[in-house]
Amino acid sequence: MEIIKFKTEGLAQLSYLIIDKETAAVIDPRREAKIYYDKAKEQGASIKYIFETHRNEDFVTGSRELQRHCGAQILHGEGLDFEFGRFVKDNENFILDEICFQVLCTPGHTPESISLALYPTRESEQALAVFTGDSLFVNDVGRTDFFPDKRNEYAEMLYDSLHQKILPLGDEVVLYPAHGAGSVCGGKIADREISTLGFEKKHNPMLQLSKDEFIKQKANETHQKPPYFKEMEKINLKGSDTALINYQHTKNISREDLKKDFNKLQIIDVRSSEAFLGCHIPGSLSIPQGMLSAYAGYFISYDQPIVLVTDTEQEEEQAKAALVNLGYDNILGALAGGISAWEVSGESLASVRMLDVNHIQNEKSSSTLLDIRKPNEWDEGIIKNARTIFLGDLLKNLNEFSKDEHLITYCGSGKRATIAASLLQAHDFKNVSVFMGSMQAYQNKKAS
């Protein structure tokens, strides 16, 4: 028996392929699902079950796509109106060759959340591992804010699921959650992808609380909910139908075609932040490839066709994979010849002024410093006099600034600050700079 973990960078989403001799199961597949099929096949196994531990909000699940490849059964908990797959019951067993998955209904994150306890055989009384979905993470627990009117109720459900269903499996049970550090589905997930129920019971701060404390704390938590979550919820209940068919048919877009349809398109520049600062197509949006999973959902629409600006074939493929994973089937293609083709065309070009920490220390008085990090990051300190607006809220607050004001954006490193700068430039702010290195450079400079 082997457990293979797949990590989707950006989302920090974890999915699992469990192979038991000639049969296998997949838990929470991502949309590009052929990877599970291929891996199982390589090991000589057929996938029999696809479990969804909960209705995902942060990506399009690949259950349907995977089912097309291998014909496996899709299974999820009761409590939401899934239009595909079948529902499972509490304590229901699913057997591969020898190992047995037992369903635990663990509502709290969502009403139909399940966990899956893995036993060596059907007869074992001792679980070996548990797949907890978004109920229990390493060092944190799941969000309970998706039903704003019922925050207390859901927090209480989660508390009970954790303490009455999951932890009783035993200290020696290995934990396999659905997210790692960096996910928006949990703010304090630790950066070590290994734990046990015993370790969490002792060290996970959320498991040290009484029921009342737990409910109170969960009720007060604030989490980001990027606008695309709504789209994900819909797709994941209905089942993604068109699969990846469109994805395979993107084109190279010539600069002439780009110019012709310029206003109908979303031009997404997935090159590095530095390359965007150096030179970009006026009006384009900077989201470096590795940040698409986390930020595309805030700024990219599902309707208008998307054209990518990339440096390499590989970058383009990864960008498309990330977008498809978020349900974007409106990718038209990439600019043929990349940014170079645009540069030599004789069309206008734009850049963003780059400032380092020395500039900031000297010049900040005459400018507006804009801290676009998350609220919980502000808690650990901001630069004096900086204005704070979370990147995801920036577009709603543009009228707070004048178009000619010198705006200097910063974040942790400069990458999100560059996204912010691209948004500001696209909305006609003329005088935008990025503080490269941002908060880390600021603190390192102070420390030295």
Quote the CA–CA distance of 390 and 371 in Å, as a whole number. 7
Q: Of residues 3, 219, 243, 395, which one binds a second copy by CB under 8 A?
A: 3
| 381 sits near a second copy (criterion: CB under 8 A) | no
Q: Of residues 239, 413, 427, 431, which one binds a second copy by CB under 8 A?
A: 413
| 274 sits near a second copy (criterion: CB under 8 A) | yes
Q: What is the DSSP string of 379-414?
A: TT---TT-EE--GGGGGGGGGGS-TTS-EEEE-SSS
Q: Of residues 211, 260, 353, 403, which one binds a second copy by CB under 8 A?
A: 353
Q: Of residues 241, 313, 393, 400, which one binds a second copy by CB under 8 A?
A: 313
Nearest distance from C-beta of residue 446 to a second copy, angstroms: 8
Nearest distance from C-beta of residue 251 to a second copy, angstroms: 7
The three-point CA angle 190-186-138 to 5° equals: 35
Q: What pairs with residue 27 in β-bridges? A: 16, 51
Which residues in 101-140 contact a second copy (CB under 8 A)? 120, 126, 128-129
| 96 sits near a second copy (criterion: CB under 8 A) | no
Q: Of residues 271, 364, 373, 416, which one binds a second copy by CB under 8 A?
A: 271
Nearest to a second copy of 101, 146 (CB atom)? 101
Nearest to a second copy of 105, 432 (CB atom)? 432
Q: What are the φ and ψ backbone dihedral angles of 182, each rounded to 5 degrees?
A: 105, -10
Nearest to a second copy of 69, 150 (CB atom)? 69
| 246 sits near a second copy (criterion: CB under 8 A) | no
Q: Of residues 22, 212, 241, 256, which one binds a second copy by CB under 8 A?
A: 22
Q: Which helix (H) or strand (E) holds 432?
A: strand 432-435
Whether residue 96 contacts residue 124, with contact meaning beta carbons closer than 8 Å, is answered with no
Nearest to a second copy of 25, 157 (CB atom)? 25
Q: What is the DSSP letter of 30?
A: B
Which residues lie below 8 Å from residue 148, measured CB to CB, with a gap of 6+?
none
Which residues in 172-201 contact a second copy (CB under 8 A)? 172-174, 190-199, 201
Q: What are the φ and ψ backbone dihedral angles of 333, each rounded to 5 degrees?
A: 155, -160
**Region binding a second copy by CB under 8 A among candidate stretches 161-169, 233-241, 350-358, 420-428:** 350-358
**Region binding a second copy by CB under 8 A among candidate stretches 54-62, 324-332, 387-395, 440-448:** 440-448
| 278 sits near a second copy (criterion: CB under 8 A) | yes
Whether residue 275 contacts residue 349, with contact meaning beta carbons closer than 8 Å, is answered with no
HEC per residue, 249-294:
HCEEECHHHHHHCHHHCEEEECCCHHHHHHCECCCCEECCHHHHHH
